[in-house]
Amino acid sequence: MRGVVFDGERVRVVDDLRVRDPGPGEVLVAVAAAGLCHSDLSVVDGTIPFPVPVVLGHEGAGVVEAVGVGVTHVAPGDHVALSTLANCGTCADCDRGRPTMCRRAIGRPGRPFTRGGEPLFQFASNSAFAERTVVKAVQAVRIPKDVPLPCAALIGCGVLTGVGAVLNRARVERGDSVLVIGAGGIGLNVIQGARIAGALRIVAVDANPAKEAPARRFGATDFLTSADAVRNVLPNGADHAFECVGRTDLIRRAVDLLDRHGQAVLLGVPPATAEASFLVSAMYLDKSILGCRYGSARPQRDIALYAELYRQGQLLLDELVTGTYPVEDFDKARADAAAGRLARAVLTF
Protein backbone atom coordinates (compact mmCIF):
# COMPACT_ATOMS: atom_id res chain seq x y z
CA MET A 1 0.00 0.00 0.00
CA ARG A 2 1.01 3.65 -0.45
CA GLY A 3 2.32 5.90 2.27
CA VAL A 4 4.63 8.82 3.07
CA VAL A 5 7.85 7.76 4.79
CA PHE A 6 10.59 9.89 6.34
CA ASP A 7 13.89 8.02 6.79
CA GLY A 8 15.75 10.78 8.63
CA GLU A 9 17.15 12.34 5.48
CA ARG A 10 14.36 12.58 2.93
CA VAL A 11 10.63 12.07 2.50
CA ARG A 12 9.36 9.59 -0.07
CA VAL A 13 5.98 8.36 -1.22
CA VAL A 14 6.29 4.56 -1.32
CA ASP A 15 3.92 1.85 -2.49
CA ASP A 16 5.20 -1.19 -0.61
CA LEU A 17 4.10 -0.51 2.97
CA ARG A 18 2.38 -3.18 5.01
CA VAL A 19 0.38 -2.78 8.21
CA ARG A 20 -0.47 -5.53 10.66
CA ASP A 21 -4.00 -6.64 11.56
CA PRO A 22 -5.69 -4.96 14.52
CA GLY A 23 -5.12 -6.57 17.90
CA PRO A 24 -7.40 -6.46 20.93
CA GLY A 25 -8.72 -2.95 21.49
CA GLU A 26 -7.52 -1.73 18.08
CA VAL A 27 -9.13 -0.58 14.84
CA LEU A 28 -7.95 -0.91 11.23
CA VAL A 29 -8.96 2.16 9.20
CA ALA A 30 -8.83 2.71 5.45
CA VAL A 31 -7.71 6.33 5.31
CA ALA A 32 -9.63 8.43 2.78
CA ALA A 33 -8.09 11.84 3.49
CA ALA A 34 -5.41 13.37 5.70
CA GLY A 35 -4.52 16.97 6.44
CA LEU A 36 -0.94 18.15 6.07
CA CYS A 37 -0.19 19.78 9.41
CA HIS A 38 2.83 21.89 10.35
CA SER A 39 3.75 19.20 12.88
CA ASP A 40 4.42 16.73 10.05
CA LEU A 41 6.82 19.22 8.48
CA SER A 42 8.39 19.83 11.89
CA VAL A 43 9.39 16.17 12.07
CA VAL A 44 11.10 16.50 8.71
CA ASP A 45 13.01 19.68 9.61
CA GLY A 46 13.95 18.38 13.07
CA THR A 47 11.90 20.82 15.15
CA ILE A 48 10.00 17.84 16.57
CA PRO A 49 12.45 15.02 17.35
CA PHE A 50 11.03 11.63 16.35
CA PRO A 51 12.57 8.20 15.71
CA VAL A 52 12.91 7.08 12.11
CA PRO A 53 12.02 5.57 9.74
CA VAL A 54 8.49 6.80 10.35
CA VAL A 55 5.20 6.90 8.46
CA LEU A 56 4.04 10.50 8.66
CA GLY A 57 0.58 12.01 9.08
CA HIS A 58 -1.66 12.43 12.08
CA GLU A 59 -4.78 14.29 10.93
CA GLY A 60 -7.01 11.81 9.11
CA ALA A 61 -10.42 10.31 8.51
CA GLY A 62 -11.61 7.17 6.80
CA VAL A 63 -13.70 4.05 6.97
CA VAL A 64 -13.34 1.24 9.51
CA GLU A 65 -12.21 -1.99 7.81
CA ALA A 66 -11.80 -4.27 10.83
CA VAL A 67 -11.87 -4.15 14.61
CA GLY A 68 -10.03 -6.15 17.23
CA VAL A 69 -11.44 -8.08 20.13
CA GLY A 70 -13.30 -5.94 22.62
CA VAL A 71 -14.07 -3.03 20.28
CA THR A 72 -17.78 -2.27 20.30
CA HIS A 73 -18.23 1.46 19.69
CA VAL A 74 -17.30 1.27 15.98
CA ALA A 75 -17.81 -1.43 13.36
CA PRO A 76 -16.66 -2.09 9.78
CA GLY A 77 -18.20 0.45 7.45
CA ASP A 78 -18.38 3.26 10.01
CA HIS A 79 -16.90 6.62 9.08
CA VAL A 80 -14.41 7.82 11.66
CA ALA A 81 -12.19 10.81 12.36
CA LEU A 82 -8.86 9.89 13.93
CA SER A 83 -7.42 11.34 17.10
CA THR A 84 -3.70 11.30 17.87
CA LEU A 85 -4.45 10.71 21.54
CA ALA A 86 -3.87 7.04 22.33
CA ASN A 87 -4.71 7.49 26.00
CA CYS A 88 -5.22 4.50 28.25
CA GLY A 89 -8.63 5.49 29.65
CA THR A 90 -7.89 4.06 33.10
CA CYS A 91 -5.23 6.23 34.76
CA ALA A 92 -5.97 9.04 37.21
CA ASP A 93 -5.68 11.75 34.55
CA CYS A 94 -8.01 9.95 32.15
CA ASP A 95 -10.45 9.39 35.00
CA ARG A 96 -10.39 13.13 35.77
CA GLY A 97 -11.33 13.94 32.16
CA ARG A 98 -7.79 15.00 31.23
CA PRO A 99 -6.80 12.42 28.60
CA THR A 100 -4.18 14.74 27.07
CA MET A 101 -2.18 14.29 30.28
CA CYS A 102 -2.20 10.47 30.13
CA ARG A 103 1.41 9.43 30.60
CA ARG A 104 0.88 6.16 28.77
CA ALA A 105 0.01 8.09 25.62
CA ILE A 106 3.07 10.35 25.48
CA GLY A 107 6.38 9.44 23.87
CA ARG A 108 5.77 5.73 23.27
CA PRO A 109 5.55 5.31 19.48
CA GLY A 110 4.53 1.91 18.17
CA ARG A 111 5.69 0.19 14.99
CA PRO A 112 2.70 -1.43 13.27
CA PHE A 113 4.13 -0.87 9.77
CA THR A 114 6.77 -2.77 7.84
CA ARG A 115 8.53 -2.16 4.57
CA GLY A 116 10.74 -4.80 3.08
CA GLY A 117 10.63 -6.61 6.41
CA GLU A 118 11.85 -3.55 8.34
CA PRO A 119 9.54 -2.09 11.03
CA LEU A 120 8.59 1.57 10.74
CA PHE A 121 7.45 3.89 13.51
CA GLN A 122 3.96 5.35 13.70
CA PHE A 123 3.85 9.13 14.03
CA ALA A 124 1.62 10.48 16.80
CA SER A 125 0.04 7.03 17.25
CA ASN A 126 -1.70 7.66 13.94
CA SER A 127 0.28 7.79 10.65
CA ALA A 128 -2.61 9.00 8.52
CA PHE A 129 -0.37 9.36 5.44
CA ALA A 130 -0.91 5.69 4.67
CA GLU A 131 -3.73 3.95 2.86
CA ARG A 132 -4.46 1.96 6.01
CA THR A 133 -3.46 2.42 9.61
CA VAL A 134 -4.05 0.68 12.93
CA VAL A 135 -5.04 2.82 15.91
CA LYS A 136 -6.27 2.25 19.43
CA ALA A 137 -10.03 2.05 19.66
CA VAL A 138 -10.17 5.26 21.68
CA GLN A 139 -8.63 7.12 18.70
CA ALA A 140 -11.40 6.23 16.25
CA VAL A 141 -14.41 8.51 16.69
CA ARG A 142 -17.53 7.71 14.71
CA ILE A 143 -18.92 10.63 12.70
CA PRO A 144 -22.07 11.03 10.59
CA LYS A 145 -21.66 9.82 7.03
CA ASP A 146 -22.87 13.15 5.65
CA VAL A 147 -19.72 14.88 6.94
CA PRO A 148 -17.25 14.80 4.00
CA LEU A 149 -14.14 12.85 4.93
CA PRO A 150 -11.66 15.52 3.68
CA CYS A 151 -13.34 17.95 6.09
CA ALA A 152 -13.63 15.42 8.89
CA ALA A 153 -9.90 14.72 8.66
CA LEU A 154 -9.13 18.23 9.88
CA ILE A 155 -11.12 17.83 13.08
CA GLY A 156 -8.62 15.37 14.54
CA CYS A 157 -5.77 17.85 14.95
CA GLY A 158 -6.14 21.43 13.71
CA VAL A 159 -9.72 21.89 14.87
CA LEU A 160 -9.27 20.05 18.16
CA THR A 161 -6.13 22.07 18.89
CA GLY A 162 -7.40 25.52 17.91
CA VAL A 163 -11.06 25.41 18.88
CA GLY A 164 -10.25 23.30 21.93
CA ALA A 165 -7.66 25.79 23.16
CA VAL A 166 -10.38 28.44 23.20
CA LEU A 167 -13.23 26.42 24.67
CA ASN A 168 -11.39 23.96 26.93
CA ARG A 169 -8.14 25.64 28.01
CA ALA A 170 -8.70 29.40 27.92
CA ARG A 171 -12.46 29.10 28.47
CA VAL A 172 -13.11 32.31 26.56
CA GLU A 173 -16.37 33.91 27.67
CA ARG A 174 -18.96 35.93 25.79
CA GLY A 175 -17.81 39.54 25.44
CA ASP A 176 -14.08 38.81 25.90
CA SER A 177 -11.34 40.21 23.66
CA VAL A 178 -9.07 37.75 21.86
CA LEU A 179 -5.73 38.27 20.12
CA VAL A 180 -4.58 35.58 17.68
CA ILE A 181 -0.97 35.76 16.49
CA GLY A 182 -0.64 33.72 13.31
CA ALA A 183 -3.59 33.08 10.98
CA GLY A 184 -2.55 29.70 9.58
CA GLY A 185 -4.47 26.46 10.08
CA ILE A 186 -4.32 26.54 13.88
CA GLY A 187 -4.88 30.28 14.08
CA LEU A 188 -8.01 30.12 11.93
CA ASN A 189 -9.44 27.51 14.26
CA VAL A 190 -8.63 29.66 17.28
CA ILE A 191 -10.45 32.51 15.54
CA GLN A 192 -13.55 30.45 14.89
CA GLY A 193 -13.41 29.01 18.38
CA ALA A 194 -13.45 32.56 19.74
CA ARG A 195 -16.40 33.38 17.49
CA ILE A 196 -18.31 30.32 18.71
CA ALA A 197 -17.51 31.29 22.32
CA GLY A 198 -19.00 34.73 21.76
CA ALA A 199 -15.85 36.89 21.95
CA LEU A 200 -16.69 40.52 21.20
CA ARG A 201 -13.36 41.53 19.63
CA ILE A 202 -11.17 39.05 17.76
CA VAL A 203 -7.92 40.56 16.49
CA ALA A 204 -5.86 38.47 14.06
CA VAL A 205 -2.19 39.29 13.40
CA ASP A 206 -0.25 37.83 10.47
CA ALA A 207 2.58 39.28 8.41
CA ASN A 208 0.97 37.95 5.23
CA PRO A 209 -1.79 40.35 4.12
CA ALA A 210 -3.37 37.57 2.05
CA LYS A 211 -4.46 36.00 5.36
CA GLU A 212 -6.92 38.84 6.05
CA ALA A 213 -9.81 37.48 3.95
CA PRO A 214 -9.83 33.98 5.53
CA ALA A 215 -9.26 35.42 9.01
CA ARG A 216 -12.32 37.63 8.66
CA ARG A 217 -14.30 34.77 7.12
CA PHE A 218 -13.61 32.66 10.21
CA GLY A 219 -14.61 35.44 12.59
CA ALA A 220 -11.85 38.03 13.04
CA THR A 221 -13.23 41.51 13.67
CA ASP A 222 -9.84 43.13 12.99
CA PHE A 223 -6.75 42.14 11.01
CA LEU A 224 -3.24 43.53 11.44
CA THR A 225 0.05 42.72 9.71
CA SER A 226 2.09 43.61 12.79
CA ALA A 227 1.62 43.17 16.51
CA ASP A 228 2.94 46.72 16.91
CA ALA A 229 -0.54 48.03 16.06
CA VAL A 230 -2.50 45.89 18.53
CA ARG A 231 -2.68 48.64 21.16
CA ASN A 232 -4.38 50.86 18.58
CA VAL A 233 -7.23 48.35 18.48
CA LEU A 234 -7.12 47.10 22.06
CA PRO A 235 -5.73 50.00 24.13
CA ASN A 236 -5.88 48.05 27.39
CA GLY A 237 -4.68 44.79 25.87
CA ALA A 238 -6.43 41.48 25.26
CA ASP A 239 -8.21 39.19 27.68
CA HIS A 240 -6.71 36.22 25.82
CA ALA A 241 -3.70 36.04 23.48
CA PHE A 242 -2.97 32.90 21.47
CA GLU A 243 0.51 32.44 19.98
CA CYS A 244 0.09 30.10 16.99
CA VAL A 245 3.45 30.49 15.23
CA GLY A 246 6.04 29.03 17.58
CA ARG A 247 8.48 31.94 17.82
CA THR A 248 9.83 32.99 21.19
CA ASP A 249 9.73 36.69 20.34
CA LEU A 250 6.03 36.36 19.53
CA ILE A 251 5.44 34.52 22.80
CA ARG A 252 6.89 37.57 24.55
CA ARG A 253 4.61 39.85 22.51
CA ALA A 254 1.58 37.76 23.43
CA VAL A 255 2.37 38.22 27.13
CA ASP A 256 3.10 41.93 26.77
CA LEU A 257 -0.19 42.55 24.93
CA LEU A 258 -2.40 41.12 27.66
CA ASP A 259 -4.79 43.19 29.73
CA ARG A 260 -4.89 42.76 33.50
CA HIS A 261 -5.96 39.24 34.41
CA GLY A 262 -5.25 38.21 30.82
CA GLN A 263 -3.86 34.89 29.76
CA ALA A 264 -1.45 33.92 26.98
CA VAL A 265 -1.98 30.45 25.49
CA LEU A 266 0.98 28.87 23.69
CA LEU A 267 0.04 26.76 20.66
CA GLY A 268 2.95 27.24 18.25
CA VAL A 269 5.81 24.75 18.50
CA PRO A 270 9.31 26.25 18.71
CA PRO A 271 12.42 24.01 18.84
CA ALA A 272 12.40 21.70 21.84
CA THR A 273 15.23 23.59 23.59
CA ALA A 274 13.84 27.09 22.95
CA GLU A 275 13.51 29.45 25.90
CA ALA A 276 11.25 32.49 26.15
CA SER A 277 11.40 35.45 28.53
CA PHE A 278 8.85 37.79 30.04
CA LEU A 279 8.66 40.54 32.64
CA VAL A 280 8.02 38.93 36.00
CA SER A 281 6.45 42.15 37.24
CA ALA A 282 3.67 41.75 34.67
CA MET A 283 2.54 38.57 36.38
CA TYR A 284 1.51 40.56 39.46
CA LEU A 285 -1.38 41.92 37.39
CA ASP A 286 -2.84 38.41 37.52
CA LYS A 287 -1.62 37.53 34.05
CA SER A 288 -1.12 33.86 33.19
CA ILE A 289 0.92 31.90 30.65
CA LEU A 290 -0.75 28.63 29.71
CA GLY A 291 0.61 25.69 27.82
CA CYS A 292 -1.94 23.69 25.87
CA ARG A 293 -1.57 20.13 24.63
CA TYR A 294 -3.93 19.12 21.85
CA GLY A 295 -6.58 21.68 22.78
CA SER A 296 -6.99 20.10 26.24
CA ALA A 297 -9.38 17.88 24.31
CA ARG A 298 -11.53 14.90 25.20
CA PRO A 299 -11.58 13.55 21.64
CA GLN A 300 -14.48 11.11 21.89
CA ARG A 301 -16.63 13.98 23.12
CA ASP A 302 -15.12 16.89 21.21
CA ILE A 303 -14.77 15.36 17.73
CA ALA A 304 -18.43 14.34 17.79
CA LEU A 305 -19.38 17.81 19.04
CA TYR A 306 -17.42 19.60 16.33
CA ALA A 307 -18.86 17.35 13.63
CA GLU A 308 -22.34 18.35 14.80
CA LEU A 309 -21.41 22.05 14.91
CA TYR A 310 -20.26 21.66 11.31
CA ARG A 311 -23.57 20.11 10.33
CA GLN A 312 -25.36 23.06 11.95
CA GLY A 313 -23.24 25.58 10.05
CA GLN A 314 -21.48 26.96 13.13
CA LEU A 315 -18.05 25.37 12.53
CA LEU A 316 -16.31 26.01 9.22
CA LEU A 317 -14.49 23.04 7.73
CA ASP A 318 -14.94 23.24 3.96
CA GLU A 319 -13.26 26.65 4.02
CA LEU A 320 -10.18 25.17 5.71
CA VAL A 321 -9.53 22.82 2.79
CA THR A 322 -7.73 25.16 0.41
CA GLY A 323 -5.85 22.50 -1.52
CA THR A 324 -6.51 18.81 -2.23
CA TYR A 325 -3.72 16.59 -3.56
CA PRO A 326 -3.38 12.89 -4.35
CA VAL A 327 -0.83 11.40 -1.98
CA GLU A 328 1.63 11.04 -4.86
CA ASP A 329 1.80 14.87 -4.98
CA PHE A 330 3.02 15.14 -1.39
CA ASP A 331 6.06 17.23 -2.41
CA LYS A 332 3.84 19.81 -4.12
CA ALA A 333 1.49 19.96 -1.13
CA ARG A 334 4.48 20.37 1.17
CA ALA A 335 5.90 23.22 -0.94
CA ASP A 336 2.56 25.02 -1.13
CA ALA A 337 2.07 24.70 2.64
CA ALA A 338 5.59 25.94 3.39
CA ALA A 339 5.02 28.94 1.13
CA GLY A 340 1.91 29.91 3.11
CA ARG A 341 -0.42 29.46 0.15
CA LEU A 342 -2.81 27.19 2.06
CA ALA A 343 -4.88 27.09 5.22
CA ARG A 344 -4.73 23.29 5.02
CA ALA A 345 -3.60 20.90 2.34
CA VAL A 346 -5.45 17.59 2.28
CA LEU A 347 -3.93 14.42 0.84
CA THR A 348 -6.33 11.88 -0.61
CA PHE A 349 -6.02 8.15 -1.29
pLDDT per residue as tens digits for the range 247-293: 999 999 999 999 999 999 999 988 889 999 999 998 999 999 999 99
Report, as an integer, the average pLDDT of 219-236. Answer: 98
- For residue 337, the Cα-to-chain-centroid distance in whole angstroms is 15
| Cα dihedral across residues 85, 91, 97, 98: positive or negative | negative
Residues belonging to the chain: 349
Distance CA 62, CA 132 (A): 9
| pLDDT of 343 strictly over 80 | no
Q: What is the pLDDT of residues 101-160, one digit of tens each?
A: 998 887 678 999 999 999 999 999 999 999 999 999 999 999 999 999 999 999 999 999
Report, as an integer, the average pLDDT of 314-325. Answer: 94
- For residue 112, the Cα-to-chain-centroid distance in whole angstroms is 23
3-class SS at 87? coil
The amino acid sitting at 26 is E
Q: What is the pLDDT of residue 63?
A: 98
In the Cβ-directed half-sphere of 112, how many Cα atoms lie within 13 Å? 25
Q: What is the pLDDT of residue 107?
A: 65
117: which DSSP letter? T
- The fraction of the chain above a pLDDT of 70, given in percent, is 100
- The fraction of the chain above a pLDDT of 90, given in percent, is 89
Helix (H) or strand (E) holding 43: helix 38-45
- Phi (first) and psi of residue 285, to 5 degrees: -95, 25
Distances from the Cα of 289 to the Cαs of 252, 255, 263, 282, 348, in angstroms?
A: 10, 7, 6, 11, 38
Beta bridge partners of 12: 5
Distance CA 118, CA 309 (A): 42
**Beta carbons within 8 Å of 142's beta carbon, 6+ residues apart:** 73, 74, 78, 79, 80, 304
Distance CA 259, CA 239 (A): 6
- Are the CB atoms for 47 and 2 separated by under 8 Å? no
